[in-house]
């Protein structure tokens, strides 16, 4: 079941650099592990994490099995207008996840 | 994404065209062919990129990492992308991050899986087309990737 | 021939220090707790501690978040959710996990939090019990236990649960496996010392269900028991076994006073 969390301040001043954090519940199955019957567990990792701010892409990570399970990312964005942050991710199996957060920008 | 096998074959096939000064080692830099594949052979300068990572990782399955690139992140002068490379992981490219002037700061934190003690390297491409790199050594006792449990 | 380390005393009787030591070992069958009491967080390493302290960065909180939605989902033939009877968990579940395991008033069995959740599912929701280590049970258990975060464990041993406590105590001190070790050998006598890359903890369960970096996911205390038994090459009982429940009661008594930390982050 797709689950992700986005954290950023509820409000910021225009031009302020705000910290954005995302956490995605995902096993990031490497494709190198074996099940109890000795069969390889197929690889299934989050391959792309994208963050859009008022519709424009502000962060993109192309990820693989080298990123730890339950991927965590922290980055920065300049607060320029009140609006919405949308986090989207996709994995090898084609499953997608999405989470939103609002940001109020004051003058 | 290149596999470990292709990567090792590339090292064998290439002449010692070192793009980076060797770090106290007489052997060809293992990162060199991989870096060449995405810089197109352009020079990579050491500096401006720092990797903050514990020198001894509690557990290789989740090692906290902070990548910082010195940049004003203006429209005219910013970091376009950062590629994170591993020396020992079965898949050498850990991640590629795409940034731009709207980030304000070229700083990314995440957690990585490490297959044993190794050197990690980050290559940043700036908006003017130049490449900069930074690296860090990590000791890992409980390794990820191939240590199945 | 003289064997190194042995002095010839001309007597067969053990020396006085040896006699004293054997008396002490004999009296070690009385329930003991480590002094001072330390959470596993103190032994888990700085990075694991930092991850646990950060509510957003703590991967275990993803399960707590999931647990919050499971709490509100109707389940079973009765079509009720946990919230239908228990309302808001931060209010009604506060302090509950700190008293567990308890004797269930319905059938007199000792139950832990997972067991109590399943009793509710079967008895009140008309739903199937959730197996250990399923995402849903882990999420719900972590969510409920999390409502007691900061509350000191306060388990009372009385006439009703004493037999369970004694069995748990005996299990804790019993040598098992090819390595022939008991829990006490590591967690009572040698906590604080190195075992490979790890520092041996006192073996408390206050952080569970916990996110273990080794598992790359949240797991139950019974899963941790299984890991320890496997490590000494002993037969692993299934999660939910009565032996584990008795052990859980003994461990809870042993941890009395330590605050619940769920979801903890451990190596």
Average confidence (pLDDT) over B35-51: 91
**pLDDT > 70: percent of chain C:** 89
Looking at the predicted structure, is the pLDDT value of residue B18 above 80?
no
C25 exposure class (CB count in 10 Å sphere: 0-12, 13-18, 19+): exposed
pLDDT for residue B1:
59
Tokens of A17: 């650099």
**Residue B6 contacts C where some CB pair is shorter than 8 Å:** no
Q: Any residues with CB less than 8 A from the CB of C65 and at least 6 apart, and which?
A: A3, A5
Nearest CA of chain C to the CA of A71: how many Å?
9
Q: Delimit the domains of chain C by residue range.
A: 36-54+152-266, 60-146
Predicted confidence band of residue B78 (pLDDT cuts 50, 70, 90): very high
Instruction: Give A15-74 pLDDT, tens digit per residue.
Output: 999 999 999 999 999 999 998 898 999 999 999 999 999 999 999 999 999 999 999 999
Confidence band, pLDDT 50/70/90 cuts, at residue B141: confident
Q: CB–CB of A70 and C62 under 8 A?
A: yes
Q: Which CATH number fits domain B42-140: 2.60.40.10, 1.10.150.530, 3.40.50.720, 2.60.40.2470?
A: 2.60.40.2470
Mean pLDDT of chain B: 85
User: Which pLDDT value is given to residue B6?
Assistant: 67
pLDDT of residue C11: 52
- Rounded to a whole number, what is the distance in Å from the CA of A53 to chain B's nearest CA? 10
Check CB contact of B149 with chain C, cutoff 8 Å. yes
Q: C62 to chain A: which residues are within 8 Å by CB? A: 3, 5, 23, 25, 70
Give the pLDDT score at C175.
97
SS (H, E, C) C159-216: CCCHHHHHHHHHHHHCCECCCCECHHHHHCCCCCCEECCEECCCCCCCCCCEEECCCC
Size of interface A-C (CB pairs under 8 A): 33
Instruction: Please state, in angstroms and rounded to a whole number, the distance separating the CA atoms of residues C143 and C83.
Output: 13
**B132: how many CB neighbours lie within 10 A of its CB?**
20
By mean pLDDT, which of A59-68, B21-30, B62-71, C119-128 is the weakest? B21-30
Query: Inter-chain contact B103–A60, Cβ cutoff 8 Å?
Result: no
Domain ranges of chain B: 42-140
Mean pLDDT, range B20-31, rounded to an integer: 60
Among candidates B61, B63, B64 on the partner chain, residue whose Cβ is nearest the Cβ of C214:
B61
CB contact under 8 A, A5 and C57: no
Of C45, C59, C196, which is closest to B58 when you measure between CB atoms? Answer: C45
How large a percentage of chain C has pLDDT more than 90?
85
Low-confidence winner among A13-17, C14-18, C201-205, C215-219 (lowest mean pLDDT)? C14-18
- Rounded mean pLDDT, B75-101: 96
Select the residue of A1, A5, A69 nearest C217 (Cβ to Cβ): A69
pLDDT higher for B135 or B14?
B135
Quote the pTM value. 0.87
C60-146 falls under which CATH superfamily?
A: Cytochrome c-like domain (1.10.760.10)
More confident residue, B30 or C155: C155
Q: Which of B13-17, B42-46, C108-112 has the lowest mean pLDDT?
A: B13-17
Segment C158-183 shows an average pLDDT of 97
Which chains are adjacent to chain B, needing at least 3 Cβ pairs under 8 Å? A, C
Q: Does pLDDT of C5 surpass 80? A: no
Contacts of residue C149, Cβ cutoff 8 Å, sequence gap at least 6: C259, C260, C261, C262
**C12-50 pLDDT tens trace:** 555 555 555 544 444 445 688 999 999 999 999 999 999
Which CATH class, in words, describes the domain spanning C36-54+152-266?
mainly alpha
Phi, psi angles (nearest 5°) of residue B101: -60, -25
Alpha-carbon span C187 to C202, nearest angstrom = 5
Domains in chain A, ordered, with CATH?
Answer: 4-106 (2.60.40.10)
């Amino acid at each position: 079941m797709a689950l992700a969390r986005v954290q950023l301040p509820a409000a910021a001043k225009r031009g302020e650099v705000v910290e954005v954090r995302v956490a995605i519940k995902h096993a990031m199955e490497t494709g190198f592990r074996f099940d109890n019957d000795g069969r390889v567990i197929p690889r299934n990792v989050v391959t792309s994490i994208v963050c859009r701010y008022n519709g424009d892409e502000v962060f993109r990570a192309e990820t693989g099995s080298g990123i730890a399970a339950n991927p965590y990312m922290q980055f920065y964005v300049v607060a320029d207008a009140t609006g919405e942050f949308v986090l989207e991710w996709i994995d090898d199996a084609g499953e997608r996840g999405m989470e939103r957060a609002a940001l109020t920008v004051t003058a | 994404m290149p596999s470990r096998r292709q990567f090792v074959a590339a090292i064998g096939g290439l002449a010692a065209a070192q793009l980076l000064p060797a770090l106290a080692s007489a052997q060809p830099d293992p990162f060199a062919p991989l870096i060449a594949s995405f810089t197109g052979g352009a020079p990579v300068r050491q500096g401006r990129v720092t990797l903050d990572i514990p020198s001894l990782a509690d557990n290789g399955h989740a090692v906290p990492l902070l990548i910082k690139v010195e940049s004003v992140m203006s429209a005219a002068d910013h970091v376009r992308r950062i590629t994170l490379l591993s020396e020992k992981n079965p898949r050498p490219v850990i991640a590629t991050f795409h940034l731009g002037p709207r980030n304000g700061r070229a700083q990314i934190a995440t957690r990585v899986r490490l297959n044993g003690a190794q050197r990690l390297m980050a290559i940043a491409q700036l908006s003017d087309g130049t490449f900069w790199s930074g690296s860090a050594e990590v000791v890992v006792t409980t390794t990820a990737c191939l240590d199945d449990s | 021939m003289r064997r190194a380390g042995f002095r010839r005393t001309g007597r067969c009787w053990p020396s006085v220090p040896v006699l004293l030591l054997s008396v002490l070992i004999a009296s070690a069958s009385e329930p003991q707790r480590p002094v001072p009491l330390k959470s596993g967080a103190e032994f888990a390493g700085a990075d694991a501690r930092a991850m646990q302290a950060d509510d957003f960065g703590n991967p275990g909180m993803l399960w707590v978040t999931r647990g919050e939605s499971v709490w509100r989902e109707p389940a079973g033939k009765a079509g009720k959710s946990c919230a239908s009877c228990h309302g808001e968990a931060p209010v009604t579940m506060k302090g509950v996990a700190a008293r567990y395991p308890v004797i269930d008033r319905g059938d007199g069995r000792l139950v832990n939090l997972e067991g109590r959740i399943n009793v509710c599912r079967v008895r009140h929701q008309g739903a199937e019990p959730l197996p250990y280590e399923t995402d849903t049970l882990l999420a719900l258990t972590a969510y409920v236990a999390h409502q007691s975060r900061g509350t000191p464990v306060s388990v009372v041993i009385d006439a009703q649960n004493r037999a369970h406590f004694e069995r748990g105590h005996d299990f804790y001190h019993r040598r098992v496996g090819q390595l022939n070790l008991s829990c006490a050998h590591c967690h009572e006598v040698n906590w604080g010392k190195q075992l490979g890359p790890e520092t041996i903890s006192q073996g408390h369960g206050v952080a569970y269900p916990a996110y273990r970096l080794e598992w790359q996911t949240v797991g139950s205390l019974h899963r941790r028991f299984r890991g320890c038994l496997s490590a000494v090459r002993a037969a692993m009982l299934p999660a939910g076994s009565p032996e584990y429940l008795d052990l859980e009661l003994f461990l809870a008594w042993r941890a009395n006073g330590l605050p619940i930390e769920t979801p903890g982050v451990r190596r």
